[in-house]
Structure 1
Amino acid sequence: MALTTAATSAPVDTRLYIIAVLSLTAVQMLSTIAFNIGAVLAPVAAPDLGVAADDVAYYVSAVYLVSIYAAMAGGPMAVRLGPVRLTQCGLTISAIACLSLASGHVVLAALSAIILGLGGGPLTAASSQILARVTPQRLSNLTFSIKQSGVPLGYALAGALIPISVELHGWQAVAAAIAVICLMTALALQPLRALYDRDGVTTGRLLPTFQQIVDPLKRAWADPVLRRLCLAAMFFSAMQATIVNFTILYGVNGLLLDYVAAGLLLSVATAAGMVGRVFWGALADATRRPLAMLALLGAIMTLGGFAMAAAQLGWPSWVLHGVAIVLGGSAIGWNGVFISECARRAPPGRAGEFVGATSFFVFLGPVLWPVMFRAILYATQSYPAGFAIMATATGVSAVAITGLLRRGER
């Protein structure tokens, strides 16, 4: 498949570029908080709902399973509705999910996982459609990484603020507050429609056909580089899901930290991921070797995963935080470079569709792995076993990407 650069023809308009980066990063941050609210609230919400805290694994898998369809449909829907309108819809749906969780009813809480997947899934495709249009090629990796830094920033804020807020106001009030913020943000985005939704298709069906969803996936799979990257991304995202969804539980139940201290451990890891996303994106642009960056990131997250698996009771907080920084900076820092590479290899005007299609693999890891992690935990009563298995998988992925480098790919 011939490679094209989606951002090559983007107009050099500094105003459109800056507004897009700032607003989309903020949206990414907020949607991440909403998307992962179940995992953060699990230790305190589970007793009220009558379930085990570790059962959040099933909740997380349900969120990501629905997100697979929503993400792949997001590209065609961004063309149909306009990417800003699609983002507004996604935030509104996420608000409904948070309210369902806030109800405190176990059935509505379970339903909120499905709703969260529908709301959060399309947002990366929508934002990629905008960024591919307004970003200079020389800044592609950095720009997508800055926008994706909203993900670890959201994790960090959730880990630092939600436990404290829960102690002050209760978990249901916190979930409801996040819903209100999502709705307010959706309304605040309205002026951006005139800037970025002008090319939307005003006629035709809203939901894409099966062929429209599958076609970009087939095209991406036909690219031998993207094919290997997508398989690696499945394991990278599974490691990321391990950190985001099990660090607090590991801290509370495995390392015997209190809830706030465990939340701080997640916050440190995700803050490192935020810095890492920008750093790795800038380095990929400076060296013009994004594949080398992804291989290096895979190696670092492997070392970090084994270090987290080796953590012991009584380790000083600075040691635990150091491990969290290494693991978070890599396992949460890879995504911007990957998305930029997917957008770069997309046909002109189809960056959102390609990013949505490759999200199939990015979300597949978090669909399958949390349930497997829960099974491993049930069988072994060991959080470290899950971290070690995932570290092995990311190491194999790093070796696979290195194979591309040996064939002359960059």
Structure 2
Amino acid sequence: MLVRNRWVVLSIGMVAQVAGVSAIFGIPVVLPSLREDFGVSTAQAGILAGLPSFGLLLTLLLWGVVIDRVGERTTMVISLVSTTVTLALLWVAPGLWGVAAILTLLGAVGGPVNAASGRLVLTWFSVEERGLAMGIRQSGLPLGVGLAALVLPRAAEAWGFVGAMSLPGILALLAVPLVAAVPASPPRPPATMTDRGPTREGLEASSETETGSPYRRWPIWRVHGVSMLLGVPQITLMTYAALYLVQEQGWSPPAAGVMVAVAQVPGAVGRLVLGAVSDRDGERMRPVRLLAIVATVALLLLTLLPASLPWSALVLLPLCLVLTMWHNGLTFTSVAEIAGTSWAGRALAVQNWLQAVSTTLTPLLMAVVITFAGLPWVFAVSALFAAAAVAVVPVGRRNGRGNV
């Protein structure tokens, strides 16, 4: 039986996103196992962790067209099944190069879940609820990372890297019947007249399909740019936080995984809170600027203080993890609202694609930083990108579609 309650649909989209995230972004939390199983250096392991993002780059724009043509449900089912099959191929991978190819394929097939579940929010929720709804949906990222951080390091100790990565594949497969229960399209009020004029929902539906390409205007490009810039510190923390605790602070891999997992809770809650606040205030991007400023300062402190005050890493590392997570729901909501329903699939795919550029290039950049300056300095370089985002954030008059 198909589900028709928008909050249930949102929950299903979130489950699908958690499954996809735990597959693609679960790799960094088992980097110590990956490094040991395949005999690679820290820098090389970081590059391998970035290969799913390279796979995203190859296919996300095409997936955006598919989402707008065939709908969210079909696209997510195809992606989840393909994710399960791809992770199963790790068991027969012919050595390190085979693993590298499979990790790239993982990103190529797993990418559309994020954009498709974002389009669900736009089509099922009104503008007054979208910030909260997108915040809930975007909490799937920290929840997926948190789940992976709790489960995968211990699984890797018992079964190795390949065995641990089978678990996200099973989760993706379990999500398939839930996604299949979502209707192909939501019940939507027609853009017709009432006795007092056009309905609010009708006007919204009409405006979103008649504005043409959002890429003829600058605001959406600036939101994309902010997401790319803030993606660098976010991916840096996601990739190297556990490894930093193991290598620089002497933690065990499971203990480091717990620390990363615990940080995901306020990361998820913050996205919900900021989304709800943005619904009330109509300010989607102004909070993003403040987050970028605070993150810049925190990342610089994380670079410098632990050398003389080792305990400070226990405060600053989870703080930076949390701060770098909070912007995603706001930027995704802003992109979706600027694009409208007719362009949302493509625009959110572009958003994911450009973030994947950051995700792919960040480990390469940080590998150079680690080689010449050491692991702690990846946080200083990340701070430079957060500072650049402050200048790019579009903040202007409120217009009912985000503060852009």
Q: TM-score, normalised to structure 2's length? A: 0.85
Out of 326, 336, 351, which is 2:329 matched to? 336
How far apart are the structure 2 equivalents of 1:102 and 1:168? 15
How far apart are the structure 2 equivalents of 1:332 and 1:140? 18
Out of 19, 22, 26, which is 1:37 matched to? 26
| Deviations 1:15-59 (CA, angstroms, capped at 9, x unpaired) | 431122111111111111101232222211222223224313222
1:238, distance to aligned residue in structure 2 (A): 1.3
Paired residue for 1:22? 11
Out of 376, 382, 386, which is 1:394 matched to? 386
Query: Is 1:357 aligned to 2:350, yes or no?
Result: yes
How far apart are the structure 2 equivalents of 1:61 and 1:44? 16
| Deviations 1:249-289 (CA, angstroms, capped at 9, x unpaired) | 11111222221222122223322211121121112222211
Paired residue for 2:360? 367
1:407, distance to aligned residue in structure 2 (A): 11
1:316, distance to aligned residue in structure 2 (A): 6.7
How far apart are the structure 1 equivalents of 2:236 and 2:92? 27
Query: Is 1:114 aligned to 2:104, yes or no?
Result: yes
1:196, distance to aligned residue in structure 2 (A): 5.7
Greater displacement, 25-34 / 159-168:
159-168
1:65, distance to aligned residue in structure 2 (A): 2.1
| Deviations 1:55-99 (CA, angstroms, capped at 9, x unpaired) | 132223322122124222222101333211111111122222322
1:374, distance to aligned residue in structure 2 (A): 0.4
Paired residue for 2:167? 177
Contact residue 83 and residue 110 of structure 2 kept, 8 A: yes
1:187, distance to aligned residue in structure 2 (A): 3.4
Out of 172, 176, 180, which is 1:190 matched to? 180
Query: Is 1:345 aligned to 2:338, yes or no?
Result: yes
How far apart are the structure 2 equivalents of 1:45 and 1:305? 27
Paired residue for 2:37? 48
Q: CA separation of 1:302/1:116 partners in 2, compared to 1, >3 Å: closer, same or farther?
A: same
Percent identity (aligned): 20
Q: TM-score, normalised to structure 1's length? A: 0.84
Q: CA separation of 1:283/1:157 partners in 2, compared to 1, >3 Å: closer, same or farther?
A: same
RMSD (CA atoms): 2.6
How far apart are the structure 2 equivalents of 1:37 and 1:259? 14
Whichever residue aligns with residue 257 of structure 2, its letter is G
Paired residue for 1:302? 296
Structure 1 residue runs without a partner (length 5+): 1-13, 199-217
Out of 120, 125, 138, which is 1:130 matched to? 120
Query: Is 1:231 aligned to 2:250, yes or no?
Result: no
Contact residue 4 and residue 186 of structure 2 kept, 8 A: no
Q: CA separation of 1:330/1:379 partners in 2, compared to 1, >3 Å: closer, same or farther?
A: same
Query: Is 1:278 aligned to 2:272, yes or no?
Result: yes
How far apart are the structure 2 equivalents of 1:20 and 1:188? 9
1:143, distance to aligned residue in structure 2 (A): 0.8
- SS in structure 2 at match of 1:290: coil
Q: CA separation of 1:276/1:164 partners in 2, compared to 1, >3 Å: closer, same or farther?
A: same
Whichever residue aligns with residue 179 of structure 1, its letter is G
- SS in structure 1 at match of 2:80: helix
Greater displacement, 306-315 / 173-182:
306-315
Paired residue for 1:253? 247
Contact residue 125 and residue 356 of structure 1 kept, 8 A: yes
How far apart are the structure 1 equivalents of 2:318 and 2:372? 29
Greater displacement, 371-380 / 354-363:
354-363
> Superposition pairs for residues 144-155 of structure 1, below 5 Å?
144-155=134-145
1:314, distance to aligned residue in structure 2 (A): 8.8
Q: CA separation of 1:365/1:194 partners in 2, compared to 1, >3 Å: closer, same or farther?
A: closer
| Deviations 1:171-208 (CA, angstroms, capped at 9, x unpaired) | 3322223222222222342222556699xxxxxxxxxx
Contact residue 369 and residue 378 of structure 2 kept, 8 A: yes
Whichever residue aligns with residue 397 of structure 1, its letter is A
Contact residue 57 and residue 108 of structure 2 kept, 8 A: no
How far apart are the structure 1 equivalents of 2:45 and 2:258? 19
How far apart are the structure 2 equivalents of 1:270 and 1:254? 21
Q: CA separation of 1:320/1:180 partners in 2, compared to 1, >3 Å: closer, same or farther?
A: same
- SS in structure 2 at match of 1:312: helix
Structure 2 residue runs without a partner (length 5+): 189-211
| Deviations 1:109-128 (CA, angstroms, capped at 9, x unpaired) | 11122211112211122112
